[in-house]
């Protein structure tokens, strides 16, 4: 189960890192049209809000991996996963608010993966039992 938790945390970290990099380096107009209807949500947010979301995603990506790898405050891994749960819940809410029910599936899958990491790392496979 520990290996599965590492894999899921790695996948989530990769997804969050790619998402944060795209929000920083891709212009908003290009980002809104990049994936069709699934990426139109960026038009609802200011450039400053998009940068703030990108920072949260980057910190989440780092928090899912780095504390455990360097063995400094590994309790931050499930805390970062809790943040990812909140981030993906907010993303799902934005999609519901915009009426994009067809594109909400990815957000819910990532939310479930983050919840799996929370349950595993706060639960029986925490890093404190090493």
C-alpha dihedral sign at 52, 53, 55, 59: positive
pLDDT tens, the chain, 130 aa long: 999 999 999 999 999 999 999 998 888 778 777 767 777 788 889 989 999 999 999 999 999 999 999 999 999 999 999 999 999 999 999 999 998 888 899 999 999 999 999 999 998 888 875 4
Which pLDDT does position 35 carry in this prediction? 67
Q: Which of 64, 44, 53, 45 is nearest to 24 (CA)?
A: 53
Residue 17 is encoded by which pair of tokens?
């890192």
- Give the CA count within 13 Å in the CB-facing half-sphere of 29: 0
Residue 113 is encoded by which pair of tokens?
């993966």
Domain ranges of the chain: 2-129
Which pLDDT does position 57 carry in this prediction? 97
Determine how many CB atoms are found less than 10 A away from the CB of residue 97. Answer: 10
């Amino acid at each position: 189960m520990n290996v599965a938790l590492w894999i899921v945390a790695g996948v989530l970290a990769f997804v969050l890192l790619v998402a944060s990099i795209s929000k920083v380096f891709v212009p908003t107009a290009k980002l809104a049209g990049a994936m069709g209807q699934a990426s139109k949500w960026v038009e609802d947010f200011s450039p400053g809000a998009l940068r703030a979301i990108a920072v949260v995603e980057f910190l989440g990506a780092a928090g899912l991996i780095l504390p455990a790898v360097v063995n400094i405050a590994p309790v931050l891994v499930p805390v970062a996963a809790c943040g990812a749960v909140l981030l993906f819940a907010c993303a799902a809410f934005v999609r519901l608010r915009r009426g994009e029910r067809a594109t909400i599936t990815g957000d819910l899958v990532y939310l479930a993966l983050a919840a799996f990491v929370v349950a595993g790392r706060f639960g029986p496979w925490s890093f404190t039992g090493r």
